[in-house]
Chain A
C-alpha cells in the first residue's frame, strides 16, 4: 500500500536528484517549477511514478497538480483505484 507520505518522499527525492536542489530545501506546498523542474523532467517524473506505483498517469499530471502535496494525493488516489 502506497501512502501519500511515501509518494511525497519519492517525489521530493526525484526533484532533488534531477535539479540538484537539496531535498530539505523542497517544500511540500511550493510549485515544483520553483525548483527548476523543466517540462521534460516533469514527464520523466510522471513515468517514474508510473513505474514505482504501477499506475497509468496522464502525461500532464504534474501541470495539473504542481506541488509535492497535491501530486502525491493525486497519485495515491489513482493507485488506490487501480488496486481495487
Chain B
C-alpha cells in the first residue's frame, strides 16, 4: 500500500503526456517513472494473491520477449497467443506490439474445438505461437493434426528472469496493425478485426475521459484476455491510467462470484464490471452471512456491457448489495464492439441508468419510439452518452439516410476508434467500415449491425436489437448458423437446411430454441427416438458451444420457412414459435399417421 501512495504523484504526472502515445510507449515511460508501482495482481481460485507484476517488471519482461521476436521473422508477422488466465499473457501481448508483430489472442482450444482455432490460424497466416511451457506440448499435440500449419513455438515464461534489453523502441500510435480480434466471425468464416496502435490509444483515452478515471482508479477484472473487453478494458486501460489492477480467471469468478466483490472491497476498486449475467450470477449466489466484512463503497463505476442490459438485474443487484455499500448510481450500462476497438458509449458517471418503457408495436411498425405509459411496454436501458471523440448516427439501413432522435435505425459510428477493417476481407471491410450517410459524402462510418435509437431528451444510446440473427449468450457472440450446423451434424436423421436456432427473449431468462424440420424418415422414427435425439442435440451443442438449448421442437416436413434463395428465415420461425403457429409433430399423431 505504501509503495502505491509513494508513487501516486509520479503516476499522476504522466496523465497528459500518455494521452497520445502507443500503449508500449506509455508502458516504457511509466516503467521509467515508477518501476516499483504494482500494475497487476493476479488472484488464484480462492481469491489469494498468486502473482504480481510491477510497471518495471512488465516493461522488462515484454521487452525481452520483443527482442526475442525481433530475431526471427519480420515486422507485421501474425503471432498467435495461447495463454491460461494469469500474468504471462499481457507481457507476451505487449512483446508482440513492441516488436511490431501483429498479436492474435486466442481462446485455448480444446480437442473438440480445435477446428475454429485452425481456421483462424490459417486465415491470418500465422507461423508462430506464443504460450507457456506448461501448455506447449498439449497445444502442439492438438494443433499438429494439420500438416499445412508449420508453426514455430516459444514458451515466453521461460524468459521470465532475463535481464532487460536496451535496444527495444516502442512503436508510435500510428495506423499499423497492433492485433487481430477474432470474435466477430462465425466458425466457418472467421473475421479478424484489424486494430491499430492508434485505435488502442484512442479507445483507452475515450474510456478514461468518459469515466473520469486516473491513476487512483483501481480496477478489478475477471474477463478472459482473448475477448475485447478483457483485453482492452482489463489489461490495457490500466497501463494508460497508471493504476493498480487486480485480475482473476473467468472460472474463479463463475465458481465463486463473491471473490470478485470481495476483491473490489479489499483493493478499494473504483471500476469493475462485466456483462449483465455477471451481476445476475453474483446476486443469485449471495447468501445471508456471506461477505459480512465487505465494503463496496469505493466502487464508483459498475460497467455493464457486451450483452443486453436488463432492468430486473439492476434492481436485484442493488437490493442484494445495497447493504454492503453498493449504490444504484454506480451501475453504468455501456455499449461497444470490437469493430470500434471496444468502447462507444457509456456514462456520465454517478447517474442512475436511464430506463424507458417503449411501445413495442409502434417501434416495430413505424420505427418510431413512443413512450408506453400503460406500464406494458418493453423496458430498454440507456447505454450512455457517446464518447466525445466519435459521432454516432442512427441511419435507415434501407436508404442510408440519417434519422432524428427517437427514431429506430441502425447505429453507425465514425471516429479514430473505428478499426481498420477485417483481415484480408476487402469487400466486407469496405461495406462495414467505409459506409457513407446519404447526402453526407466524405465521412466514413462503421455499420454496427445493431438497431437502436438516440433518446430525444437525454442523448443516450438505446439498443433494441440486431439486424443479423447473432445470438449473444453471456456476453459472447454466437452465430446461429454454427449452432444449426452442430445440430445437423449431431444425428444422421437431421438433414442439412432443416434447422432454425433463435433466442426466445420473453420471460426473465433468454432461452435458446431449436426448431428442427423432420423429413418423412425422421417423422416415422421420431416416436421411438425423440428422447435420445433431444439429448444428443443438447449434448452436441453444449460441447461445441458451451450453451444450453432450452427447447427443441420438431415440425412437420416442408414447414420450415425459407427465402426463395433457400435461406432459413429464423425471425419468421421465431414469430411462429411464439404465436404457437408451428406445425408441431406430436409423437402420438405421428404414429397414427404411419
Residues of A within 8 A of B (CB): 18-21, 30-31, 33-41, 43-44, 46-48, 50-51, 59
The size of the chain B interface, using a CB distance under 8 A, is: 27
Picked from A30, A36, A47, the residue with its CB within 8 Å of the CB of B542 is A36
A residues less than 8 Å from B548 (CB atoms): 18-21, 35-38, 41
CA distance A30 to B251 in the complex (A): 25
- A44 B254 Cβ-Cβ under 8 A: yes
Main SS at interface, chain A = helix
Give 27 pairs: A residue, B residue, CB < 8 Å, sorted on A: A20-B511, A20-B550, A21-B548, A30-B535, A33-B539, A34-B535, A34-B536, A34-B538, A36-B538, A36-B542, A36-B548, A36-B549, A39-B546, A44-B254, A44-B255, A44-B281, A46-B255, A47-B254, A47-B255, A47-B256, A47-B285, A48-B285, A50-B256, A51-B285, A59-B45, A59-B251, A59-B255
CA distance A30 to B285 in the complex (A): 26
Tell which of B45, B542, B545 has the most Cβ of chain A within 10 Å: B542
- Is B399 close to A, CB under 8 A? no
- Is B365 close to A, CB under 8 A? no
Instruction: How many A-B residue pairs have C-beta atoms within 8 angstroms? Tell me.
Output: 67
Residues of B within 8 A of A (CB): 45, 250-251, 254-257, 281, 285, 287, 474, 509, 511, 535-536, 538-539, 541-543, 545-551
B residues less than 8 Å from A40 (CB atoms): 250, 254, 474, 546
Q: Looking at the assembled complex, report how far the CB atom of A22 sits from the nearest CB atom of chain B, in whole angstroms.
A: 10
Q: Looking at the assembled complex, report how far the CB atom of B109 sits from the nearest CB atom of chain A, in whole angstroms.
A: 13
- B535 A35 Cβ-Cβ under 8 A: yes
Q: Looking at the assembled complex, report how far the CB atom of B529 sits from the nearest CB atom of chain A, in whole angstroms.
A: 14
Q: Looking at the assembled complex, report how far the CB atom of B542 sits from the nearest CB atom of chain A, in whole angstroms.
A: 4
A residues less than 8 Å from B45 (CB atoms): 59
B residues less than 8 Å from A34 (CB atoms): 535-536, 538-539
Q: Looking at the assembled complex, report how far the CB atom of A58 sits from the nearest CB atom of chain B, in whole angstroms.
A: 10
Tell which of B257, B474, B535 has the most Cβ of chain A within 10 Å: B535
A residues less than 8 Å from B539 (CB atoms): 31, 33-34, 36
CA distance A30 to B536 in the complex (A): 11
Q: Looking at the assembled complex, report how far the CB atom of A46 sits from the nearest CB atom of chain B, in whole angstroms.
A: 6
Q: Looking at the assembled complex, report how far the CB atom of A51 sits from the nearest CB atom of chain B, in whole angstroms.
A: 6
* Additional 10 contacts, C-beta under 8 A, given A36-B539, A38-B548, A43-B255: A19-B538, A30-B535, A34-B538, A35-B538, A36-B538, A36-B541, A38-B547, A40-B254, A44-B255, A51-B285
- B535 A38 Cβ-Cβ under 8 A: no
- A38 B546 Cβ-Cβ under 8 A: yes
Picked from B254, B536, B550, the residue with its CB within 8 Å of the CB of A19 is B550
CA distance A36 to B544 in the complex (A): 10
Q: Looking at the assembled complex, report how far the CB atom of A73 sits from the nearest CB atom of chain B, in whole angstroms.
A: 21
CA distance A34 to B474 in the complex (A): 20
- A37 B542 Cβ-Cβ under 8 A: yes
CA distance A77 to B224 in the complex (A): 33
A residues less than 8 Å from B546 (CB atoms): 38-40
Q: Looking at the assembled complex, report how far the CB atom of B47 sits from the nearest CB atom of chain A, in whole angstroms.
A: 12
- A33 B255 Cβ-Cβ under 8 A: no
A residues less than 8 Å from B474 (CB atoms): 40
Q: Looking at the assembled complex, report how far the CB atom of A67 sits from the nearest CB atom of chain B, in whole angstroms.
A: 12
Q: Looking at the assembled complex, report how far the CB atom of B348 sits from the nearest CB atom of chain A, in whole angstroms.
A: 33
B residues less than 8 Å from A41 (CB atoms): 548
Considering the complex, give the chain B residue whose CB is closest to the CB of A33: B539
- B251 A43 Cβ-Cβ under 8 A: yes
Q: Looking at the assembled complex, report how far the CB atom of B175 sits from the nearest CB atom of chain A, in whole angstroms.
A: 37
Considering the complex, give the chain A residue whose CB is closest to the CB of B509: A20
